[in-house]
Every structure is written in structure tokens, then in C-alpha cells.
Structure 1
Amino acid sequence: MVMRNSRNLIKYLVAGGVTLSSLEYLRRHDFNLSSIGLVRFGRAFAVAINVFIDYKVSMYGVDSQQEDYQELKNKIHLRSAVKLRTLCCVNGGVFIKVGQYVGALEYLLPKEYVETMKVLHNDAPQSSLQDMCKVIKEDLGKDVGELFTSFSEKPIGAASLAQVHKATLHDGTTVAVKVQHADVQKHSYVDMKTMEFLLHIAARLFPEFRIVWLAEETKRNLPRELDFILEGQNCERVARMFAQFKFLKVPKVYWSLTTNRVLTMEFCEGGKVDDKEYMKQHDIDVDKISKDLGKLYSEMIFVHGYVHCDPHPGNIFIHKTLQGQQEIVLLDHGLYQVMTDDFRLNYAMMWQSLINADIEGIKKYSEALGAGQLYGLLACVLTARSWNAVTTGIGELEQTDAESDEIKEYATVYLPQISELLNNVPRQMLLLLKTNDLLRGIEWTLQTRANASSFINMSRCCVRALSNHQLKSCDSWVSRTKIRVREMFTQRKIDLYEMYMWLRTTYFGSLIFQLFYGPQKPVPVFSGF
């Protein structure tokens, strides 16, 4: 009875504390309650209080050294994640967007949150056909029946801000029509203020849960994502920028049927990039797909500094043409990150240091990237490797199951430090962490060979980007020749490393390797630049 009364007292105290903190926050941030959607805000506030109280009350009096401590905490994580996912689905719009972001933060948040939110990438709530037709009529001035000879009743894809329908133009062309959810823009201001408010309260009650940057990023990017004309322009820019990649397919935009809320594009066939069964059915070379994807994103990051901001499997399709050409279809161009030259070059130097296992270089460029004394943590988060692997040379040792388990365990233990790191690094870094996770996740799902790793293509682009930068400050042909020779020599070393990794995956190569070096000892054929 005493315990129950104690828990009830704690529950009321926490609820009262949260409410008082909330009112003070609203007052200081000019949150005009008379002009916002009270139902949406109230729903979010109620769920937030429920989650916070669950943590405080359930963990009250529990010793962290108890045998079932972590099991209890995992259960609370899962309960809370399900509640928050339900809130995201009911409120929709910005809440779905933030939930999807959480679902992409592998190694950065408890797995219960990541796995629970991840389904929002593929199972976002849908708007009715009537609502979609209304938006089209308002923006294009004609009924759907006047614009298209057919228009699918069910969407072929639903996302946080819009959904896509398959349609046919009067000339017989099949198109994909992306239509914004009717109320997204109307609710966007309220939702962003609400999200910002909730994350500030969470940071106050749980100091280790500091992801206020998530609200800041969403607030900064949302207006651009809601502008479909900008998305169409991004489509055309990317198609021009990477025209040399014959494997890349970017949908054509039909401008006469495009507005701020309606985007009509070429319809592209294909399966999701992580659909291994689709690859088998269509005889698609998964190793080539992994190589090409690594090449594309490395070129974006290190060479152009213009990076696709929503790299999840639902936005990357794979298609094999009638001529047998494998294509990577890149979708959802609503948001791109433009990187500053300073950031891009510091990031390239950081990777050069990681590949060389250069500890002093890692410290130096971690400092330049805002990590400060958390340089070791940044190195591990960037590579998804243990510190031992980083200091040994990430290009020389393959990740073991034991190392993978160690990383996941550390992700929970060092959550406060990870939160601090994410609050300190430039916002551009958050996107790169997401991109790295995408590439690694796809390689793991498709079980690609080691020589097809995105790490190899990333190394090539990194070398080229740094060489191009050095050439800009050269004033003699001798200096330029030295830089070009050094670049060529390094690229050949990468070629040898790629050949070595391919050889290790062959039957006879693995036998020879074990005969001369033993089953565990790697050959350090690639020690960097």
C-alpha cells in the first residue's frame, strides 16, 4: 500500500512538474493557444505526459545493478515507442516526418524506438481519394477526369507529407502524381511548435535525451519540402549533375501539371533497393547495385557537396530495362543538403584519417567538425565500428558479429554522450550519418561481397576531392604533376585492395589466404592514402 501511494504521489508530482514547465515554455515562446489546433496539441501533450510518467514511475526505486533492470527499461522503451508511433499516425504530417527520422537513427537511439518507428517509412497514413482530387482541382483548376484518362483509386505510395497515385495522360503516357495531404500546410506551424515544445520538455526531464536538434532541422527544412516546384527543380538539377552515371534514373517532370502541392512525374517501374527477393526474380546483380549506390552518394558528398536528404529504401528503386541495363531510380527530391566547402573538405580529411588509422588526424578533424573531445565517439558513429577497429584500420578488418553486438551495447550505454555529440556537430553531419546507415544497411540486407562495399567508392571520391582542392592552389605544372601522380598512385592502391577483397570471396582465394596467413589474420594491403 505504501509503495502504491508513493508511486501515485510521484505520478502527480511529475504531472504537475511537466505541466508547470510546459506553461512556462509556452509563455516564453509566445505560443498563442487561441490560434492553434488545441485538439492536436492536447493529444500530443497527453501522450508526452503519459510517456514521461511511465518512465519515472516504472523506474522509481529500481537499482540499475538489478539483474532485470535493462529488461524493464527495454519494455518501457517499447511501450513508449508504440504510443508515440500511434500519435504520429493520428496527427500525421510533421509528426510522421519526425517519426521517420527517428526510425533512421540506427545506433543512436534505443532499438525499440528505431524498429517501432521504422514502419512509418512504408506504412504512413493515407488521405482519401476525395481529398486528393480536391487538392488537384484547387491547384490545377480542373477535375481529375479532365486531366487524366485514369487515376488510381489507391495510392502506390504514401509518405508523411504527400501520397503518390498512378495516372494516365490523354496521350497514353503513364505518370506518377504526387499530391500533398490537404491539411499539411495548415497544421505545419502548430505541429512544429508542438514538436519543439515536447522535445524541450523531454530534454529537461531526461538530460540524456537531447535531440532538440531534430525539431530545429525539421522546422528549417519543412517549408522547402512543402514546395513541389522546388522538388521538380531539384529533379532536373540532379539529372544534369550526374548525367555521366548511366545507371542513374531520375523521373522526368511534367511542368504543365505541377504546382506547389501537385507534382506530376514520369512513372518508373522497380523494386525497393533492399528487396532481395525482387533482385533474385529479376536477375539483378546486387554487388553492382551496391557499388553504383556507393559511387552515387560518394560523388554527392565528396565531389559536389549536394546530397539527397531522404535516403531510405522507399525512395530508391531498382529496375532492369528490356536491354538488360540495371538502373537505380532515385525518388523524392524534395530536400537536398548543400555542403560548404570547408565542411566537405574537413569531412574528407576525417575519412582519410580514419582509413589511415591516424589518431592525431582523427582528433584534429573531429575538432574541426565540432566533436571536440568526443573524437573517438564520432569515429565510431561514422564508421559503425569499434574504437579497436578504428585504431587498427577499418579497411583491413571486416566487422564480426561480436563487434556488431559490442557496438549496439555501447549505443545504449553512451546515449548521453551520443546526444551531446549530435547537438554539437554541424547540422550537415546529421544527414551524413543517416546516409552512412542507409548504405551499410543495404549492403547487410543484400549480403553484397566485401569488394562491392560503398567504403571503396567512398575512398576513391575522397581522394579525388582532396586532389582537386589541392590543384586549385597550385601555381606550377610541377606541383600539379606531383598531385596527379600521387592521386593516380593512391587510386591504384585502392584498385589492388578491391582486387584483394574480391579474391578473398572466391573459393581458391580463401584457401590460399588461409594457407599463407591463417583463418583470422588479415593482410594489410590497403593502409590509406
Structure 2
Amino acid sequence: MQGISRVVPLPSNGFLLAGFNKGTIASGSPFLKTKLGSTNFHKSITTTFSRVYPHKVLSRKPSTAIKKIGRAIRNVTLGILSIATGTAIILATWKEDYREKFTLWCAGAFRSAVTIVSCCLCMLEYKVLHLRYASTGYDSDEYKAARNLVHLRCAYRLLRLCKLNTGVYIKGVDLTVAGQHLASLTYVVPKQYTDVLSVLQDRAPYRAMSEIEKIIKEEFDGQGSKDLFSEFDETPLAAASLAQVHRAITKDGREAAVKVQYPDVSRLFNVDVWTMQTMSDLISYFFPEFELGWIVTEFKQNLIAEFDFKAEGRNGELTKQRFAHRGESFAVPEIYHELSTKRVLTMQFIRGVKINDLNGLKKLGADPAWVRNQLLEIFAEMIFCHGIVHCDPHPGNALVAISPVTKKPQLILLDHGLYRELSDDFRKTYCALWKALILNDAKALKESAESLGVGEYTNFLPLIFTQRIPDSTSLLGEDLSPEDRAILHDQLKNVTLNDLLVFLERLPRDMLLVFRTINLLRGIHRQLGGTPMEVYSLNAEYATRGFWCETREEKQIRIQREKEKRQKERRKAAGQPENGNYEVGPIRRWYLFGGAPTLRRSLGYLHDEIWLKIRFYMTELFIKVWRWWYRITITSGDHSQNAPAFQ
């Protein structure tokens, strides 16, 4: 009989399943790696686990109930799809105008049906697992092994679903998997899902040139790529979940990168979102402890912004203006507006290497330490000072190139489709939160958490941001001490996935995208050889600067005043009467410290920066002295116990 004969727990790699026949398990996942030396063992896990059914894992006796339910769902789905396809074919041949509409309708029906069937099978597996072990309890090793297999099978089922439907499904997985860091800190999200689905972040399927050409003609009144460009490479440079990029040469000889949106993504968007909302409602109905509707709503709002490539171009230009003072070390590609529309974005083509390509950086002569420092500074200034955040800084969207002006390395930021404008109240609260985290100030941390609406989760914020617990005896940037690990284990032993979802739901929506951004930045920074302490110290510096720097509103007022002043000077030089009775004095800006607009605020920033560093180093020194004294005390106690007794 085929089945599990034993479960061998591993210290770091999850579990190892033993007792399968040859070819029934593979090493495509880090959870299942071993050195058995069998060639059959290294077959694709995707095809292998598609043959593993719940009744073969959850019980030694095959369950016909699951087979019958699955067969019924499949038959109903095939019947609906057959009727829909037949209707579409008849109408398409009857009237050509209906062809595209009904083709789109059939595609939407197929995507929805496949999604619903896949998710229902996953829910069924979890329900059966829950009921089967209800009488014996959920703490046994047998239950945990069976649950891990269900996690893995469902993860691969979702992987096949995303590869089949593509589009917003891959985008949704990309946004979800990027939250792995937060999930891993609470030890409640199954790691099988993040490991299996993470492959969708690295590769997305290309679309045929005929589909791309169709979009270009629709956007430019029948003009194709050959009409608009002197050269257009049909092989894309890169493909993502919503669009792909081609290299081209404009009619005036400029090298360009042309980003073209997929033809069916926006048209199927409402159907896909409806399907996701329906599935979240079903999950909440069958599993009342999980409320996922708010995630779909947030995902929908973010994705709508990414469909408008004109807005993406404006975001890029605004970022370029905000960081004009970093022109030598930072750049954003120029937008070619005459060749850009809502679904086609044409921009300057910049030859560079991905920011995490260490060999490429070496060939360019770029120091990885300089690169990672520039990346952290730019995003810290974005969040703490400008109150905006680029929400998709994965390695493919950050390049390092040689500046044509200075001939030195320069950081290039791409893909400005998803930005979040942070409220000034949130920005200042986030600044205060980081100061409290660096100083390990429990009172200030509690105040910041309450301002964010998560006061009851105060103790988890240091763990999420700085990987240490409140009142920790570990130095900032160090691994948790054994004592801290014991405390953490005791605090998290009763934390569930629902607790995590409630925590995320109560957070301000600004914080969710900030979470995702800092997680991606940490990954890149670590690949470039950075240490956590570099991240913490730089965030502390810019968090302090954020209290004193020029706000968005102040900058708008300053720009308007400068504009009015220039208009007044031009009218005066031309001998024209002034338009209005306003009087604008000279605009003074002090850049002594922190980019503050006045001398008083510059001095305030300087005072806070010095005081923060003094308190930080005093706190770290106190911890070092306390640990030294604790070790001396323990050592003295051991010696006294081993000393001979006097008679």
C-alpha cells in the first residue's frame, strides 16, 4: 500500500517524508531536499504532487467521498464551459461584431470557473483534514505532517492556477509573496505557499508580437510599431504580470524602452476581481475566523492605479524633480510623451545592470557598499521626508548604470506605476515610531502604536522592524539571545493566522505598502552585503530629519511664491503693470542641516540628531555593561560552587 511510513523532522528545512515508492516525491521544494542519490527523486515536484490526492495522504483507506465531490464539480464545470463555448461559436459566426465580446466573455467564464474549482478543492482538503483529526487533536506529529502535505499540494494547485490565468493573478501573488518577511516573523503563515509561489516573481510568460502590435494600433489610431519607430525589437526585454517591455529606436534616433500593456488584462480585471471577492466570501463563510475581503479591496485599488501608464509617467517625473539634488547619483528615465498613452509608455532606454548583480556591478566599477547606501538613502528620504513611497522596488526595477555626464555609477529607478502618498500625520507617526524603536523607548513606542491603531500589538512592532523584542538584552542588529528567544516563543505560541490578518487589517493602509517596500529593500540590501545595523541607523537619521524638513504643503507654497516672484520681475522688466497687489519678499532657504526651510528648524534637527545618537550609544553601552556584569556574576557563581569547602 502506498502512503507515508514515517515522518522525520528536520531542524531547519521543515520535514522529510520517507517511505514513498520511487518517483512519488521530488526535491523541487526546499522542504523536501535530501541526498538519497536517486535520479527519480529529482523529478519535477509539480507533476509529482498533481498525482497525490487527499485520500492517499489523510487516510490509509481511499475515501470515495472526495473523489465523487471532485468528479461532480469537474462535470458541472465542463458542462457550463461547453454551453458557453458553443454559444460563443454560434454567435461569432452569426455576427462578427459579437466575436470579440463573446470571446472575452468565455475567457472570463473559464478563468472564474477554474479559479472557483481550484479554491474549492483547497478548502475541501482543509475541511477534511480538520474533521479527520477533530477527535484525536491537532498537536500530534501525524496531523502536522498531513497538514504540511495539504499546504504543499494546495500551493502547487495555486501555482498552476496562476500560470494558467496569468495577469492580475500573478500580480496578486507577487504582492502576497512579498509579505513573506512579515509572515515569517510570526511563524503562522505556511512557508510552503511562499516558497512555491515565489517562482512567479522571477518569470512571467511573454505575449506574441501580434498581440502587442494590436494594442499599439489601438492606442495610436491604426499606426503600428513600424510607423512610430524606425526600429522595434519583437523579442521583449522583460515581461511582468501586466505588461512587457521592448527596445526600440524613435524616428529622431533616440533609443527607447516601450512598455506595452497586455490586451486582456484591463478588460478581464472586473471579472477577476469579482472572482477573488467571491472566493474570499466563500472562505469567510466556511472558515469564519478568516476575513479576507479587505485584502481584495486593497488589491483592487492598487491595481487600478497601475493600469494607467500616463499616471506612471507623471509619477516618474515627480520623483525626478523631488530628487534633483541627487542628480549625479540618482536618475529616472525620461518619458517620451508624444509616444505614450494610457496603455503604452515610451521612455529613455538606459543600459545598466540589476542592482543585485554583483558581477555586473564589479564590471561597472560600482562599489556594492555605495550602491546599497544610495538605495537606502533614497527610499528613506522618500518615506520620512517627502511622504511618498515607490511600492515595487524589486531588483528588476532598480539598475546601476554609468552616468553620461559624470562617467560614474548612478542608481536608476524604474516602474513608477504604484506609488502611495502618505498623509503628513502618518509620516510623522512613522518617524516617531522609528525613533522609539532605535532607543528601545517603551513609552514612545506605545504612543506610536496607538496612533497607528494597533496599540494591543505594540510588543510585535520591534520584532517586525528591528528583529528584537521590547526590553531586549540583545544589541541592535544582533541575533536574538537565548533568553529573548524563549520569551518570544512564549508570546507567539498561541498566535494564529487570523491574529495576523486582524493585525494587518487594523493597520493604516499606508503602512501595508510601507511594509512591502521595506521588506523588498531589506532583501536587496542583504544581497549586497549589508548589515541590519546599517538599515536601522540610516532610518533613525532620516526619521529625525522627517520632523524638521520641509513638508509637501510648505514646498507647494514656496514654489507658488517663487513663481509669482518671477512673474512680477518679468512684468517689471517689460514695463507692464502688476497683476494683483501681492508683495513677495525674497525666499530664503537654509540647507545647513536636514533640508529644513528655516534656520530655527535646521538647528532643531541638529539638536535632535545629536541627542538621538547620544541616547542610542548610551543605551547600547548600558546593555553591554549589563551583559558583562551578568557573565561575571554567573562565572563567579560557578567557581564558588566548585570551590572546596573549609572545615
Is contact 1:310-1:335 (8 Å) kept?
Answer: yes
Deviation at 1:166? 0.9
Q: Quote the residue 1:399 is aligned against.
A: 479
Q: Quote the residue 2:427 is aligned against.
A: 344
Q: Quote the residue 1:125 is aligned against.
A: 205
Deviation at 1:60? 4.1
Paired amino acid for 2:111: R
Q: Quote the residue 1:73 is aligned against.
A: 147
Q: Quote the residue 2:609 is aligned against.
A: 491
Paired amino acid for 2:305: R
1:319 and 1:498 map into 2 onto residues whose CA distance is 37
Q: 1:320 aligns with which of 393, 397, 402?
A: 402
Q: Quote the residue 2:589 is aligned against.
A: none
CA 1:481/1:329 → structure 2, altered by over 3 Å: closer, same or farther? Answer: closer
Q: 1:211-254: per-residue Cα shift (whole Å, max 9, x none)?
A: 43321112112222111111111111110011112321201011
Q: Quote the residue 1:24 is aligned against.
A: none
2:179 and 2:331 map into 1 onto residues whose CA distance is 27
Q: Which runs of 5+ in 2 are unaligned?
A: 1-54, 74-103, 184-188, 555-597, 619-623, 632-647
Deviation at 1:458? 1.5
2:141 and 2:348 map into 1 onto residues whose CA distance is 57
Paired amino acid for 2:121: N
2:493 and 2:435 map into 1 onto residues whose CA distance is 24
Q: 1:170 aligns with which of 246, 251, 274?
A: 251
1:19-418 aligned within 5 A: 37-62=108-133, 63-106=137-180, 107-108=182-183, 109-141=189-221, 142-207=223-288, 209-245=290-326, 246-321=328-403, 323-383=406-466, 385-387=467-469, 390-392=470-472, 396-399=476-479, 414-418=496-500
Paired amino acid for 2:128: V
2:367 and 2:150 map into 1 onto residues whose CA distance is 42
The number of aligned residues is 482
2:501 and 2:370 map into 1 onto residues whose CA distance is 36
Is contact 2:217-2:224 (8 Å) kept?
Answer: yes
Secondary structure of 2:324's match? Answer: coil
Is contact 2:454-2:503 (8 Å) kept?
Answer: yes
TM-score by length of 2: 0.67
Is contact 1:41-1:194 (8 Å) kept?
Answer: yes
Task: Compare CA radii of gyration and give the structure with the larger one.
Answer: 2
Q: Quote the residue 1:476 is aligned against.
A: none
CA 1:236/1:485 → structure 2, altered by over 3 Å: closer, same or farther? Answer: closer
TM-score by length of 1: 0.81
Is contact 2:436-2:445 (8 Å) kept?
Answer: yes
Secondary structure of 2:543's match? Answer: helix
Deviation at 1:272? 2.1
Paired amino acid for 1:386: R
Deviation at 1:114? 1.9
1:434 and 1:397 map into 2 onto residues whose CA distance is 20
Secondary structure of 2:325's match? Answer: coil
Indicate whether 1:466 and 2:544 are aligned: no
Paired amino acid for 2:433: M
Secondary structure of 1:428's match? Answer: helix
2:385 and 2:373 map into 1 onto residues whose CA distance is 17
RCO (CA 8 Å, sep 6+): is it higher in 1 or 2? 1
Deviation at 1:367? 1.4
Please give the root-mean-square deviation of Cα atoms over the aligned residues, in Å. 3.8
Paired amino acid for 1:293: L
Q: Which runs of 5+ in 1 are unaligned?
A: 18-33, 474-479, 501-513, 522-529
2:445 and 2:121 map into 1 onto residues whose CA distance is 42
349-358 vs 460-469, greater mean Cα deviation: 460-469
Deviation at 1:67? 2.4
Is contact 1:370-1:425 (8 Å) kept?
Answer: yes
Secondary structure of 2:471's match? Answer: helix
Secondary structure of 1:185's match? Answer: coil
418-427 vs 320-329, greater mean Cα deviation: 320-329
